[in-house]
Amino acid sequence: MATRPRWSGQQRRIGLTGGIASGKSTVARWLAEQGLPVLDADVFAREALAPGSASAKTVLDRYGEAVRAADSDPAAVVIDRAALGQIVFHDPRERQWLELLVHPLVRERFVAELAALQTAPTVVLVIPLLFEAGLEELCSEVWLVDCEPQQQLQRLMERDGLTAKNAQARIEAQWPLERKRALADRILNNRGPTAALLQELERWLRPGAGATSLPPQV
């Protein structure tokens, strides 16, 4: 059940969320292939810390050479995201500091991109921290990509080459999937093969309808 107000305009805005390594990228890719515009919070967050940006300089000022990319020009402001992750995923206070820096910039990008896409019937907003950041108000409905905790851990370790300890730290930096399930409008089961996940997605599209014509929320 939703706890915060949702977008109530004519445009359908699907908020796609889930835990880290739960399968959001697979779903987002498939929806994009169907012709839906897809806006990705992770892309916006990376752009917020782009080389030479004001935010990258703020991060470097706080953490110093420990987070400067090793192969960059010493005079350049280029952040080593892996080094930054080692700091913020093991210290809740530092993670909160970074989120307070980046989240407003990500929200601004969403608002700007949605304004540019205002004539699109449907837009997908991929937001891993949708509930944590209180961004439900940008979405008319929320789809959650769901899996088992052990699957999430194993997928993250394999995807990013992380140890179990480091992978678990990243998972615990987000709300558990169990908590998110109660807040989502639709839950996508990604416990099995990718083909089954995509078949479930396809069932959510009305047969013979255009890519932006999705079934009413149930």
Domain boundary among 116, 131, 156: 116
Q: What is the domain range of residue 12?
A: 1-37+122-213
Cα–Cα distance, 136 to 192 (Å, whole number): 28
Specify the pTM: 0.88
Residues 6+ apart with CB under 8 A from 75: none
β-pairing verdict for 122-126 and 186-189: unpaired
Cα–Cα distance, 207 to 75 (Å, whole number): 56
Domain count, the chain: 2
Cα–Cα distance, 217 to 2 (Å, whole number): 13
- State whether 191 and 111 are in the same domain: no
- State whether 58 and 102 are in the same domain: yes
What's the pLDDT score for residue 204? Answer: 75
Cα–Cα distance, 126 to 135 (Å, whole number): 11
Domain boundary among 67, 95, 116: 116
- Tell me the two tokens of residue 73: 């020009």
CB 145 within 8 A of CB 16: yes
Note whether residue 218 is domain-resident: no
Note whether residue 8 is domain-resident: yes
- State whether 20 and 99 are in the same domain: no
Per-residue pLDDT reduced to its tens digit, 166-208: 999 999 999 999 999 999 999 999 999 999 999 888 887 553 3
Give Cα 192 distance to the centre of its chain: 21
- State whether 207 and 134 are in the same domain: yes
